[in-house]
Amino acid sequence: MAALLKIEGLRKHFGSVRAVDGVDLDVKEGELTAVIGPNGAGKTTLFHLVTGAIEPDAGRVYLDGQDITGWPPAAIVRAGLARTFQITSVFPDLTALENVLLPCLARRRETARLWGSYTRHPARAEALELLSRVGLADQAERPVGQMSHADQKLVEVAMALATQPRLLLLDEPAAGLAPGETERVIGTLREMVTAGGVTVVLIEHDMDIVFSMADRVVVLHQGRVLADGAPGDIRRNPAVKEVYLGGTFAGRA
């Protein structure tokens, strides 16, 4: 089967820093891929390049065979690729419902309409449904800025899903969460991913999450792919142990 996401020779240097230095990667439909690597390995830069936030120095990105390199971010989202951010990025003064309603309306190309109340738009039901799937239906009318960090992360996931993506990039979905909250967020994510049939690539530092969720693990190191394979293989890979996982991980393996 053809790859849903195909990255070829992607490169981005910031001055002398080789943030992403020739990455090749194929992601198959339905697969859950985790991208791991030490700080500064180029994981977030890779996401920025794929989603159009920054332009690559070299290389191409294909979504379902279509070359999306250099496209503006909004066009890439419309093509079916959504993302969340490492630092949760929502609309704090808008309610949870409004946060999710906006991408629902955008997907239907309704946001250019200057007439008709958005609060009574049929897309509202869809937004409420998405909120209840992340367990936040009872907080629909609350401004997101007043919600807990974990709830904000879930709102952001619902926003991304509202674009009905074929591919979803999650940048550290558990970053900054307390242990109890991590389980709730990751549990919800896992349910939504299995139910929705969306292909996911996630960046994560928490190895428990990575090895419990991922079908495949890609290890980045200094802007290059160091290892790529099934979680079990990655655990046993000596090069990976050396540069990244170190003692704590070796003990569990």
Contacts with other proteins by CB under 8 A lie at: 51, 72-75, 77-78, 82-83, 85, 89-95, 97-98, 101-103, 105-107, 110-122, 141-143, 159, 162-163
Residue 218 beta carbon to other proteins: minimum distance, rounded to whole angstroms: 22
Contacts of 126 (CB under 8 A, 6+ apart): 104, 162
Q: Would you say 62 or 118 has its CB closer to other proteins?
A: 118
Q: Would you say 97 or 154 has its CB closer to other proteins?
A: 97
Residue 120 beta carbon to other proteins: minimum distance, rounded to whole angstroms: 6
Q: Is 223 left (phi over 0), alpha (psi -120 to 50) or beta?
A: left
Q: Would you say 196 or 231 has its CB closer to other proteins?
A: 196
Q: Would you say 25 or 168 has its CB closer to other proteins?
A: 168
Residue 53 beta carbon to other proteins: minimum distance, rounded to whole angstroms: 8
Cα dist from 127 to 94, 97, 115, 130, 144, whole Å: 14, 6, 20, 5, 14
Q: Would you say 39 or 119 has its CB closer to other proteins?
A: 119
Q: Would you say 160 or 227 has its CB closer to other proteins?
A: 160
Cβ of 33: how many Cβ atoms within 10 Å?
20
The three-state (H, E, C) secondary structure of 128-165, written as one string: HHHHHHCCCHHHCCCEHHHCCHHHHHHHHHHHHHHCCC
Residue 172 beta carbon to other proteins: minimum distance, rounded to whole angstroms: 16
Residue 60 beta carbon to other proteins: minimum distance, rounded to whole angstroms: 21
Residue 98 beta carbon to other proteins: minimum distance, rounded to whole angstroms: 6
The pair phi, psi for residue 59, each rounded to 5°, is 100, 165
Q: C-alpha angle 100/182/236, rounded to 5°?
A: 120
Query: Which helix (H) or strand (E) segment is 58 a member of?
Result: strand 58-63
Cβ of 204: how many Cβ atoms within 10 Å?
23
